[in-house]
Amino acid sequence: MNTEETQINLDELAGGAVHEKFNREMKRVLANIMDPNTDPEKKRKITITLTIAGDENRMTTDVTVSAKSTLAPSKDVSTKLVIGEDHYGNVLGQELKSGIIGQTYMDDDGELRDDTGHLIDLQKKRNESK
């Protein structure tokens, strides 16, 4: 057997399955890099494993091909919750939207909201104060 006869073309191995598996994992890696919820600078990895087992007569081998990718995890996200109890003693919690307990803020649409994001009806407040 000369050297050319022992060359294996990975693009053609298993009917092109190695090539297909690599491309599938590469797409996953690239999509993970483009995901705004991941760190684009974290390293990703593609592992292609060829598991080879010979037969008793040493005439043929079984080759199993697997591919997997290691992706960057989603970035952590944090927020603050306002916690307390209702008049029955049940624990309640809501997300603090304004940044400071009791502070109102204007949302992206110019609407006035309370610290937990509920819309404040100024007309109703005016009528209640009369």
Average pLDDT over the chain, rounded to whole? Answer: 88
3-class DSSP state of 6: helix
Round to whole Å and give the CA distance between 58 and 50. Answer: 18
| Range from 11-20, 29-38, 115-124 carrying the lowest mean pLDDT | 115-124
If one counts every other C-beta atom within 10 angstroms of the C-beta of residue 18, the result is 21
pLDDT value at 91 more than 90: yes
Kindly state the percentage of the chain with pLDDT values over 90: 52
pLDDT value at 2 more than 70: no
The pair of structure tokens assigned to 80 is 């603050």
| Range from 25-34, 41-50, 78-87 carrying the lowest mean pLDDT | 78-87
What pLDDT is recorded for position 17? Answer: 93
Per-residue pLDDT band at 95 (split at 50, 70, 90)? confident
Round to whole Å and give the CA distance between 16 and 80. Answer: 51
Q: What single-letter amino acid sits at 52? A: I
Give tens-digit pLDDT for 34-49.
999 999 999 999 999 9
Average pLDDT over residues 19-35: 97
Contact 64, 37 (CB under 8 A): no
Q: Higher model confidence: residue 127 or residue 42? A: 42
